[in-house]
Amino acid sequence: MNRNCTLPLSEIKTPCFVVDLSLLRKNLAILDRVRRETGVKILLAQKAFSMFSVYGVISGILDGTCASSPHEARLGREEFGKEVTAFAAAYSEQDLKELLTTCNRIIFNSFSQWKRFREIIRNSKDVKFGLRCNPEHSEGDVEIYDPCAPKSRLGIRRADFDGESLEGITGLHMHNLCEKNSDAFARTLAVFEEKFADIIPQMQWINLGGGHHITRQDYDIDLLCRLLNEFRARWGTPEIFLEPGEAVALNTGYLVSSVLDVVHNETDIAILDTSAEAHMPDVLEMPYRPNIIGAGLPDEKKYTYRLAGHSCLAGDVIGDYSFDERLEYGSKLVFLDMAHYTMVKTNTFNGLQLPSIATWDGETGELNMIREFGYADFKSRLS
Ligand SMILES: *Cc1c(COP(=O)(O)O)cnc(C)c1O
């Protein structure tokens, strides 16, 4: 974690997401190593990180994007280029027709969806079609992030392939990891290979999903590369894909925020110009405690505060932290690891100001304000 960030805080109007391009390039170099050592293609899962102003940096290394909707697919097509793959739990006919114009690959979540659209698809010679399978092997610790949890709607179980024709299907897809190391991938892959041993050899491409924390410091990249190379040697699959989202932008971004007020109710409570509910909803959803530069656990340092958002949601609480100095009006706080699953999830609940989006280059010291939001952005989503 980059605790010594040298962001020019006085120049940053808050709230603001700041992505450090030098750290992004570092992550990309790691992903590039996996590409070069294994020959797999790596796609950016846009659902985690859709900051299209930096797609030029990412597309210099990665092979394309994957999309969860026609809008994400179009963004990938227009702003990133290269390959676009779509997967959704279900498509409407309109979604599908639009995806046929933007995607290279479309992955279906069920045989009924695949069969429903068979006729529409028949003339789409340039698009390849795949099926998502459910390996029925859980590695997730949190059920809402576990696609293999009991009664999951995601993916086709092996038994449900029986009796179905694979004509027109050229690929298989699976995804069951979330913030995992390659040991979890090894266990999943073993189950997948055993269950789908009769189907894998019929496929031209296999997409092994995201959720690999490949760029995390303790991630075992050698094991990942070995698994991928062994998989290719065993099955001879021509094209293999990974589609990490989080790993691309892991530890590259900050959310810079200011203290608006300090109130007291049994404990000191600092109210910020950012909000867990509106700007970093995973803090409440997952939930987790984001790290802040220079802050410690409660009572670890001299002054302990509960940090809370300025929305009217009583539970808009980020967590309890301690600091060496008192917080006061105007104090700036820098939340760490705020690039992924943040900008893509913000909302304008309470009409709150959306954080602006900036880039910073830790190598050159260049700060660039990319986008600021205002009343029009709030109003345009309502009527
Ligand atoms: C969420 C998701 C990803 C990306 O997951 P990360 O944890 O961000 O790497 C990739 N593929 C599918 C199908 C997903 O649902």
The least confident of 6-10, 26-30, 61-65 is 6-10
Q: Please check whether residue 274 is in contact with residue 342, taking contact to mean a CB–CB distance below 8 angstroms.
A: no
158 Cα: distance to centroid of ligand 1 (angstroms): 21
Residue 4 has a pLDDT of 56
Closest C-alpha residue for ligand 1 atom 7 = 211
- 366 exposure class (CB count in 10 Å sphere: 0-12, 13-18, 19+): exposed
pLDDT tens figures, 243-300: 999 999 999 999 999 999 999 999 999 999 999 999 999 999 999 999 999 999 999 9
Q: Measured in angstroms, how far is the CA atom of residue 245 from the centroid of ligand 1?
A: 6
Instruction: Quick: pLDDT tens for 287-315.
Output: 999 999 999 999 999 999 999 999 999 99
CA dihedral of residues 153, 158, 162, 168 (deg, nearest 10): 80
pLDDT at 266: 97
Long-range contact list for 32-35, CB < 8 A, 24+ apart?
32/61, 33/221, 34/214, 34/221, 34/224, 34/225, 34/228, 34/242, 35/61, 35/62, 35/63
Q: d(Cα 280, Cα 273) in Å, to the nearest integer?
A: 12
Ligand 1 pocket at CB < 6 A: 45, 47-48, 87, 175, 178, 209-211, 243-247
Whether residue 137 has pLDDT greater than 60: yes
When computed from its CA atoms, the radius of gyration of the chain, rounded to whole angstroms, is: 22
pLDDT in tens, 166-210: 999 999 999 999 999 999 999 999 999 999 999 999 999 999 999
Residue 5, pLDDT > 80, answer no
Say how far residue 259 (Cα) sits from the centre of its chain: 28
pTM as predicted: 0.96
- Among the atoms of ligand 1, which is closest to the Cα of residue 178? 7
37-72 burial: b if 16+ Cβ within 10 Å, else e: ebebbbbbbbbbbbbbebbebbbebbbbbbbebbeb
How does residue 328 score in pLDDT terms, banded at 50, 70 and 90? Answer: very high
Cβ atoms within 10 Å of 320's Cβ, excluding its own: 17
